[in-house]
């Protein structure tokens, strides 16, 4: 009899354990791994627009490479059904598109709204370049978030925003904590070295000459990497600047991005030699000291989860003796 009672009690305990485990998984782990549904969520984007979502998005269209990278970095890449022709990180999306495993929605500033509609998205991640299309898409009933980070904290805000909208809050927080730790380590190393801060000119485009203003995330990247953006007082994100002003400000480092032209063609500035030969530029400190440095244009053009990587690359350019 005692043996039967023991077996009975053991069976009850096992059942209780199984039910408890199922409850915990359903109410905690399943929710944090983006499965199932969520209650109504209101998300305010970078233009102040509030989007209300009633369930976890299952079909996401990205209108910019940086947005795509955020989605994949927080573990919702399997929900992305459409990307631009310029997306090629963290995967070779061109190959995916050619194989029929992903759909191209066109260019960053020229998305095909008919293609977007055919994908039946329940969330669209846009940028300010898409503003005219955003109005149309919202009028058609689509949920659209506009991402436009002006600095590193803005990138973190956008990661958190997308995480909240897509039911991936925990993954977004984990990513932000990791990026913050990496950036803090870089800043601490530079601070401990107590070296002079170099004045930096980042060339966005020419002609006309354009650089990164103080309200751009690139300016914040330069600052966190220990440099001083010579156009940090410009209020435009990417202002047109003059050659004479650059010479006058006399940067110690000039950063030129790669991959800003079609494959096989020269970049927009030609070559380092072409830049050094510009009229009047021979007097610039960066040219005297051979500190005209080529950086990865794709990396520096995208305000997303590779922000710590951008700061690390800039820090290496500014302080090669430290990195």
106-165 pLDDT per residue, tens = 999 999 999 999 999 999 999 999 999 999 999 999 999 999 999 999 999 999 999 999
Sheet hosting strand 60-62, strand order edge to edge:
103-104, 80-83, 60-62, 123-127, 144-147
The percentage of the chain sitting over the pLDDT mark of 70, rounded to a whole number, equals: 86
CATH number attached to the domain at 41-175: 3.40.50.1980
pLDDT tens for residues 175-188?
999 999 999 999 99
Same fold, 41-175 and 195-318: yes
Looking only at the bridges linking them, the beta strands covering 50-53 and 41-44 are antiparallel
User: Of 188 and 34, which is predicted with more confidence?
Assistant: 188
Classify strands 103-104 and 144-147 as parallel, antiparallel or unpaired: unpaired
To the nearest 10°, the Cα dihedral for 188, 194, 196, 202?
A: -10
pLDDT at residue 200 above 90? yes
- Determine the 3-state secondary structure of 98 from DSSP: helix
pLDDT of residue 10: 43
Number of H helices, E strands in the chain: 14, 12
- The Cα–Cα gap between 13 and 16 comes to 5
Q: Taking a C-beta distance cutoff of 8 angstroms, is the pair 82, 61 a contact?
A: yes
pLDDT at 192: 97
Ranges of each domain in the chain: 41-175, 195-318
CATH tag, 195-318:
3.40.50.1980
User: For residue 174, is pLDDT > 60?
Assistant: yes
What local confidence, expressed as pLDDT, does residue 264 receive?
60
- Cα separation, 162 vs 68, in Å, equals 11
d(CA 195, CA 226): 9
Q: Which pLDDT score, from 0 to 100, does residue 265 have?
A: 72
Q: Which of 128, 167, 187, 220 is nearest to 43 (CA)?
A: 167
Indicate the burial class of 242 (C-beta count within 10 angstroms; 0-12, 13-18, 19 or more).
exposed
DSSP summary character for residue 25: I
Distance CA 137, CA 146 (A): 12
Residue 263 pLDDT level (bands cut at 50, 70, 90) = low
Q: Which residue has the tokens 């940028």?
A: 127
For the chain, the first-to-last Cα distance in angstroms comes to: 74
CA-to-CA dists, residue 250 to 172, 245, 280, angstroms: 40, 8, 11
In the numeric block, which tokens belong to residue 275?
């830049």
Environment class of 196 (CB within 10 Å of its CB; exposed 0-12, middle 13-18, buried 19+) = exposed
């Amino acid at each position: 009899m005692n043996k039967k009672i023991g077996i009975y009690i053991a069976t009850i305990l096992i059942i209780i354990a199984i039910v408890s485990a199922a409850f915990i998984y359903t109410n905690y782990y399943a929710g944090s791994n983006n499965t199932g549904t969520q209650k109504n969520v209101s998300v305010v984007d970078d233009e102040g627009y509030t989007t209300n979502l009633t369930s976890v998005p299952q079909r996401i269209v990205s209108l910019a490479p940086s947005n795509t990278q955020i989605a994949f970095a927080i573990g919702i890449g399997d929900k992305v059904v459409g990307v631009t022709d310029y997306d090629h990180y963290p995967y070779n999306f061109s190959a995916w598109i050619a194989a029929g495993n992903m759909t191209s929605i066109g260019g960053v500033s020229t998305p095909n709204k008919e293609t977007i509609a055919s994908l039946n998205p329940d969330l669209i991640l846009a940028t300010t370049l898409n503003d005219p299309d955003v109005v149309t898409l919202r009028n058609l009933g689509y949920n659209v978030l506009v991402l436009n980070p002006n600095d590193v904290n803005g990138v973190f805000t956008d990661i958190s925003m997308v995480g909240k909208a897509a039911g991936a809050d925990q993954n977004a927080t984990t990513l932000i904590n990791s990026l913050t730790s990496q950036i803090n380590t870089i800043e601490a190393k530079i601070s401990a070295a107590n070296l002079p801060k170099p004045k930096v000119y980042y060339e966005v485009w020419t002609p006309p000459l354009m650089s990164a203003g103080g309200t751009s995330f690139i300016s914040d990247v330069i600052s966190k990497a220990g440099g001083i953006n010579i156009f940090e007082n410009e209020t435009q994100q990417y202002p047109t600047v003059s050659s004479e002003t650059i010479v006058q400000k006399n940067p110690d480092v000039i950063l030129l991005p790669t991959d800003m032209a079609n494959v096989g063609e020269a970049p927009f500035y030609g070559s380092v030699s072409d830049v050094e030969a510009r009229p009047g530029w021979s007097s610039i400190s960066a040219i005297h000291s051979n500190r005209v440095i080529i950086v990865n244009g794709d990396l520096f053009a995208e305000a997303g989860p590779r922000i710590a990587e951008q700061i690390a690359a800039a820090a290496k350019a500014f302080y090669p003796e430290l990195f």
